[in-house]
Amino acid sequence: MKRLLSITLVSLCLCACSGKKDHATEEGQAVIASETGIPLPLPPDIIYTARPLIHGKLYSQPDFEAVPVAYFDTTQQIYVLDTSNTMFAKARIRQDTVQYTGYVPKTILPARAQE
């Protein structure tokens, strides 16, 4: 009985610790980046990051009549995911600990140099 209890306790500890591994790695990378001045690598789904030229809305669909998912201002970092739409860019923003994905007008994003 004691052995079964020990095995169960060890399994629970391992499961609990495994979920924190990604978060700890992310925090470690952020510390290294802040100390070295080298920016963190972007996740593979992000094309580039930008700060908007004006405040605005993150829309649920690529349409000005769509429901706003979140609001942002010029201090907000916008992660651009897709620019294939003519007028809108698919984007992600992070507010506090929540990430929102939606669409922002391309006109509010600063022009990028051609790569």
- Quick check: 33 pLDDT over 90? no
Exposure on the CB side of residue 115, measured as CA atoms within 13 A:
3
- Quick check: 25 pLDDT over 90? no
pLDDT in tens, 38-84: 766 777 889 999 999 999 999 999 999 999 999 999 999 999 999 99
The number of beta carbons lying within 10 Å of the beta carbon of residue 93 is 20
pTM of the model: 0.64
Q: Does domain 48-108 have CATH number 2.30.30?
A: yes
So where are the chain's domains? Answer: 2-36, 48-108
Shortest CA distance to 108 belongs to which of 55, 51, 53? Answer: 53
Biggest alpha carbon distance in the chain?
67
